[in-house]
Amino acid sequence: MRVLIYSLVILFSATGYLYADVKRPQTVKEVFFTGTNHELEVYKIYGRQDGPTMLIIGGIQGDEPGGFLSADSYADIKLEKGNLIVIPRTNFYSIMLFNREVKGVDMNRLFDKTPDDWQGDIVNKIKEYMKESDIFLNLHDGWGFHYPEHISWHKSPDRFGYSVIVDEEEYTCSNGRILKLGEMAKKAMDAANAKIPDDDPKKHYFNTETSKSSSRFKNMRKSATWYAVSDLCIPAFGIEGSKNMKLDKNVLYHNYVINEFMKNIGIEIEYPNTHTYEPEFTGAVIKVHNEELFIRSGKVLEVEKGSIIKVTEIFANHVRGKTCDIVNFGNLNDINKDYKVEKDSKIIFRKDNIVMGSVTIKAVEPAQKVQTVENAKHKEIEIPVKEQDKLKLTGEESKISLEPNMKYFHLTVNNKDTYVKNGDKIHIKDGSRVVFVKLLSSKVQDYNVAINFKGWFPADNSANIGDDRGYEIIFPPANILKKYSIGSKGKLYPVVAYDTVKKQDIAKILVELD
C-alpha cells in the first residue's frame, strides 16, 4: 500500500503543473472536426480545488450505449476537488451507425500504429489527453458476463461483459515506477459491488495479461488502455457493462465503479447526473434564406426550388448527441450546412443512433411574381390624412388617434386592445395574455402582412411559418430562443411586420419582459 500511495503521489505531481493556473471551478468544452461524421466533443471539468485528473472516454465502439451514456452523464458533473476530461462519444460515426466498427476498422485497435486518416486523428487527440491525465477509464459494453470459471455461454472467462479489466496485475514502467493495476481495480470494483442489489449480478475482475506470450488476448496490445499503461505509465482500466442488462442499470453500475475510482485517487464529486430516458424531439430551427422557421417532426416544409436552407438548432430532451441528416446530401451530421433545394427531400433527426423524428422538404416551383402597374398600385391602399374619417375602424380602433404616415401594431393585452407605434417599446408584465392582431395606419385600412415575434414559436403541433398573428402568448413566453434577444439579459425582443410581397420588414417594435 505504501508503494502504491508513493507511486500515485509521484504520478499525480507530474501532471499537476498543467492545471495550476486554470480558473476554478469551471467546465471548458472543446469541439474538433466540426460538421463531420466524426465530430469530437471534449469536456474539461476543473474542480473548486486542484487535484488528480481522470480521463473518461465512451463510445470508442459505437454499439455500446451503456459506455457512452455513462460517460455522457459526467459531462455535466461538478467537482469539489480534482479534474475530469470527458469524451462521451469518442467515435461518433460508429455510434450513429450503431456499429462496433466503421468500414471494418475498430478504433480501439489503432493505438499501436495510428493510421493517417480521420480515425487516426481522433486516436492522436486521445493520446494528447492521456498525457494530461493521472488515470484513464475506457467505458464499454460487452456481451454476457465475465466469470473466472465457465458456467454457461453467457457466463464464462471468454466474456468481456460486466467486468473491470486490467492489462496486468502489476506493471513496471521503464523508469522503475510500479503500477498496481489489480489492486486499484479490485478496490474500486468491490466497493461498487457492495452497492449493487443482491438480485443483480456483481462485476468480476478480468486480467487479460496483455504482455505475456501466453495471453489469450494479444490484440489488447493495440488498445487504448495498453498504450496508456505501456507507453505513458498511466493506470488504465476498461470498465465493461453488459449488453444483456437493462440500459438504466448498465449506466448506473458503470457510474458506481467510476465514482469509486474517483474517490480512491482523491477526486471529490459535487453531484453526478444520469440520463437514459427515451429521446424526444421537440423541433428544429430551419433557416430559409434569411428567415428562421421553427418546425416540428412529421411536418412538411414547402421551399421554392433553388432556395438555400440550413438547420441551425435542434430541440430535444437531451443536450448532446443530436444530429440531423439531410438525405442524399453531405454526411450523417448536416447541422449548420447550407443545402440547396432542387428536389423533394427529407431531414432525419437523431440522438446518437436513435431516430427521433423527421421533416419532409417539398420543392415547389417559384411563384409567378409578374404584376401589372395597375396591380402594383394596390399593394397598399393609400388614404389621404384629410380623409381619415373614411376609415372603417371598429370597436376600440375607432377611439384612437393615428398619427399621419405612422404604422401601428395592434395587439391585445389581457383582452384589451393596445396600439404600439412603429419604433416604440412596450413592457409586458408576467402573467399577461398577449395576442398580436395586425398592423395598421392612418393611410392603410388593413395591412395583411405577417407579424413575427422574433424567437418565439408555438407550442402546438404546427410549423411556425414566421406569422404569429392570432396566437395567445402567456408571458413570460415558455417557447422562446434567447439568442434573438437584444442585449445579454434575454429580456428585450423585436416584433417585426414582414411584407411577403416586398420580402422585407416594414415595421418593428420591441417587447420588454418583466
| Predicted pLDDT of residue 19 | 59
C-alpha cell belonging to residue 174: 521503464
Please list, in sequence order, all residues whose beta carbon lies within 8 angstroms of the beta carbon of residue 161, skipping any fewer than 6 positions away: 141, 142, 143, 144, 145, 146, 240, 241, 242, 243, 244
**Predicted pLDDT of residue 147:** 95
pLDDT at res. 489: 74
Task: Count Cβ atoms within 10 A of the Cβ of residue 208 and give its class: 0-12 exposed, 13-18 middle, 19 or more buried.
Answer: buried
- Mean per-residue pLDDT of the chain: 86
Say whether pLDDT at 274 is over 70. Answer: no
Question: Which pLDDT does position 460 carry in this prediction?
Answer: 58
Model confidence at 514: pLDDT above 60: yes
Cβ count near 489 (within 10 Å): 9
Task: Please report, for the chain, how many H helices and E strands are present, in that order.
Answer: 8, 29
Neighbours of 329 (CB within 10 A): 12
All structural domains of the chain: 2-271 (3.40.630.10), 281-364 (2.60.40), 381-513 (no CATH)
Whether pLDDT at 89 is above 80: yes
Percent of the chain with pLDDT over 70: 85
> Is the pTM of the predicted complex or chain greater than 0.75?
no
User: What tens digit of pLDDT does each residue of 164-221 get?
Assistant: 999 999 999 999 999 999 999 999 999 999 999 999 999 999 999 999 999 999 999 9
- The pLDDT value given to residue 6: 45
The highest-confidence range among 220-229, 410-419, 440-449, by mean pLDDT, is: 220-229
From CA 255, how far away is CA 203, in angstroms rounded?
13
Say how far apart CA 474 and CA 206 lie, in whole Å: 58
The Cβ-side half-sphere exposure at 399, using a 13 Å CA radius, reads: 5
SS3 388: helix
Q: Which residues pair with 141 in a beta bridge?
A: 241
257 and 192 in contact (C-beta within 8 Å)?
yes
- Cβ burial of 119 (10 Å; 0-12, 13-18, 19+) is buried
Single out the residue of 98, 377, 55 nearest to residue 232, CA to CA: 55
Query: 281 forms bridges with which residues in the sheet?
Result: 316
User: What was the pLDDT predicted at 444?
Assistant: 67
Residue 445 has a pLDDT of 56
Radius of gyration of the CA atoms of the chain, in A: 30
Cβ-based neighbours of 491, under 8 Å, separated by 6 or more? 485, 512, 513, 514
Model pLDDT, residue 205: 98
Residue 394 confidence (pLDDT) above 80: no
Checking if the pLDDT of 318 tops 50, the result is yes
What is the per-residue pLDDT across 362-388, written as a single tens digit (0 to 9) for each? 999 986 433 323 333 333 323 232 333
